[in-house]
Structure 1
Amino acid sequence: MTHSSNYKNSKQAWEKDVEKTMNRFPERKEPFTTSSNLSIDRLYYPNQEEETYSTNQGFPGQFPYTRGIQPTMYRSRYWTMRQYAGFGSAEETNRRFRYLLDQGQTGLSVAFDLPTQIGYDSDDAMAEGEVGKVGVAIDSLKDMEQLFDEIPLDQVSTSMTINAPASILLAMYIAVGEKQGVEAEKLTGTIQNDILKEYIARGTYIYPPKPSMRIITDIFSYCQSHLPKFNTISISGYHIREAGSTAVQEVAFTIANGMAYVDAALASGLEIDQFAPRLAFFFNAHNQFFEEAAKFRAARRIWAKIMKDHYHAQNPKSWKLRFHTQTGGSTLTAQQPDNNIVRVTLQALAAVMGGTQSLHTNSRDEALALPTEESARIALRTQQIIAHESGVADTIDPLGGSYYVEALTDKIEEEANVYLDSIKKLGGAVQAVEEGYMQREIHQAAYEAQKRLEANEDVVVGLNEFKAEEEINPDLLRVDEALEAGQIRKVKDVRAARDQSEVDQILSRLREAAKGSENLMPHIVTAVKAYATVGEIANVLRDEFGEYSGM
Structure 2
Amino acid sequence: MFDEEDLETIREERKRWASETHDDSERRERFATVSNREVDRLYTPADVADLDYAADLGYPGEPPYTRGVYPTMYRGRTWTMRQFAGFGTAAETNERFHYLIDEGQTGLSTAFDMPTLMGIDSDAPMSDGEVGKEGVAVDTLRDMEILFDGIDIGEVSTSFTINPSAPVIYAMYVALADRQGVPRSEIRGTLQNDMLKEFIAQKEWAVPPEPSLDIVVDTVEFAVEETPKFHPISVSGYHIREAGSTATQEAAFTLADGFAYVEACMDRGLDVDAFAPLLSFFFNSHNDIFEEVAKFRATRRVYARLLAEWYGAETDDARRLKFHTQTAGQSLTAQQPLNNIVRTTVQAMAAVLGGTQSLHTNSYDEALALPSEEAVRVALRTQQILAEESGAADIVDPLGGSFAVESLTDELESDIVDYLDEIREMGDGSIRDGVLAGIERGYFHREIQEASYEYQNRIEDGTETVVGVTDYTIDEETSPEILTVDDEVQRRQRDRLEAVKNDRDDDAVEEALAALSAAIENDDNVMPPIIDAVKAYATMGEIMGVFEDHYGAYEEAVGLA
Q: TM-score, normalised by structure 1?
A: 0.90
Is the contact between residue 3 and residue 53 of structure 1 (CA under 8 Å) also seen in structure 2? no
SS at match of 2:57: coil
Q: State the one-letter code of the partner of 2:344.
A: V
Determine the structure 2 residue equivalent to 1:528: 534
Determine the structure 2 residue equivalent to 1:460: 466
Determine the structure 1 residue equivalent to 2:448: 442
1:334-364 deviations in whole A, cap 9, x for unaligned? Answer: 0000000000000000000000000000000
Distance in 1, matches of 2:546 and 2:310, equals 38
Determine the structure 1 residue equivalent to 2:477: 471
1:389-432 deviations in whole A, cap 9, x for unaligned? Answer: 00111110000000000000000001111111111111121211
Report the alpha carbon displacement of residue 3 of structure 1 after superposing the two structures with TM.
Answer: 11
1:32-63 deviations in whole A, cap 9, x for unaligned? Answer: xxxxxxxxxxxxxxxxxxx9635201100010
Determine the structure 2 residue equivalent to 1:268: 268
Q: State the one-letter code of the partner of 1:93.
A: T
Percentage of identical aligned residues: 54
Is the contact between residue 334 and residue 478 of structure 2 (CA under 8 Å) also seen in structure 1? no
Q: 2:497 aligns with which of 491, 494, 516?
A: 491
Gaps of 5+ in 2: 4-50, 428-433
SS at match of 2:283: strand
Report the alpha carbon displacement of residue 312 of structure 1 after superposing the two structures with TM.
Answer: 0.8
Determine the structure 1 residue equivalent to 2:161: 161
How many residues in Structure 1 have an aligned counterpart in Structure 2? 504
Distance in 1, matches of 2:244 and 2:504, equals 46
Distance in 2, matches of 1:94 and 1:111, equals 12
Q: State the one-letter code of the partner of 1:442.
A: I
Determine the structure 2 residue equivalent to 1:349: 349
Is the contact between residue 60 and residue 70 of structure 2 (CA under 8 Å) also seen in structure 1? yes
Distance in 1, matches of 2:437 and 2:279, equals 22
Determine the structure 2 residue equivalent to 1:451: 457
After TM superposition, the structure 1 = structure 2 runs for residues 86-97 of structure 1, keeping only pairs within 5 Å, are 86-97=86-97
Report the alpha carbon displacement of residue 516 of structure 1 after superposing the two structures with TM.
Answer: 2.1
Shift in CA distance, 534/335, structure 1 to aligned 2, threshold 3 Å: same
After TM superposition, the structure 1 = structure 2 runs for residues 348-497 of structure 1, keeping only pairs within 5 Å, are 348-427=348-427, 428-497=434-503
Q: State the one-letter code of the partner of 2:388.
A: H
Is the contact between residue 89 and residue 487 of structure 1 (CA under 8 Å) also seen in structure 2? yes
Distance in 2, matches of 1:426 and 1:484, equals 46
SS at match of 1:245: coil
2:545 equivalent to 1:543: no
Determine the structure 2 residue equivalent to 1:107: 107
Report the alpha carbon displacement of residue 471 of structure 1 after superposing the two structures with TM.
Answer: 3.1
Q: State the one-letter code of the partner of 1:298.
A: A
Is the contact between residue 3 and residue 52 of structure 1 (CA under 8 Å) also seen in structure 2? no
Q: TM-score, normalised by structure 2?
A: 0.89
Is the contact between residue 237 and residue 251 of structure 2 (CA under 8 Å) also seen in structure 1? yes
Determine the structure 1 residue equivalent to 2:196: 196
Q: State the one-letter code of the partner of 1:475.
A: E
Distance in 2, matches of 1:103 and 1:536, equals 38
Q: State the one-letter code of the partner of 1:493.
A: A
Distance in 2, matches of 1:314 and 1:531, equals 42
Distance in 2, matches of 1:488 and 1:515, equals 32
Distance in 2, matches of 1:293 and 1:283, equals 12
Determine the structure 2 residue equivalent to 1:125: 125
Distance in 2, matches of 1:510 and 1:342, equals 49
Report the alpha carbon displacement of residue 310 of structure 1 after superposing the two structures with TM.
Answer: 1.1
SS at match of 1:448: helix
1:48-94 deviations in whole A, cap 9, x for unaligned? Answer: xxx96352011000100000000111111100001111010000000
Determine the structure 2 residue equivalent to 1:12: none
Determine the structure 2 residue equivalent to 1:68: 68
Determine the structure 2 residue equivalent to 1:8: none
Q: State the one-letter code of the partner of 1:83.
A: Q
Determine the structure 2 residue equivalent to 1:7: none
1:179-238 deviations in whole A, cap 9, x for unaligned? Answer: 111011110000001001101111111110111011111111111111011111000000
Q: State the one-letter code of the partner of 1:466.
A: Y
2:281 equivalent to 1:281: yes
Distance in 2, matches of 1:473 and 1:413, equals 43
Gaps of 5+ in 1: 5-50
SS at match of 1:56: helix
Distance in 2, matches of 1:391 and 1:67, equals 17
Determine the structure 2 residue equivalent to 1:84: 84
Q: State the one-letter code of the partner of 1:528.
A: V
Shift in CA distance, 340/301, structure 1 to aligned 2, threshold 3 Å: same
Q: State the one-letter code of the partner of 1:508.
A: A
1:292-311 deviations in whole A, cap 9, x for unaligned? Answer: 01100001001001111111
Determine the structure 1 residue equivalent to 2:318: 318
Distance in 1, matches of 2:91 and 2:359, equals 25
Alpha-carbon RMSD across the aligned residues, in angstroms, is 1.2
Is the contact between residue 121 and residue 541 of structure 2 (CA under 8 Å) also seen in structure 1? yes
Distance in 2, matches of 1:469 and 1:221, equals 56
After TM superposition, the structure 1 = structure 2 runs for residues 40-79 of structure 1, keeping only pairs within 5 Å, are 53-79=53-79
Is the contact between residue 80 and residue 359 of structure 1 (CA under 8 Å) also seen in structure 2? yes
Determine the structure 2 residue equivalent to 1:504: 510
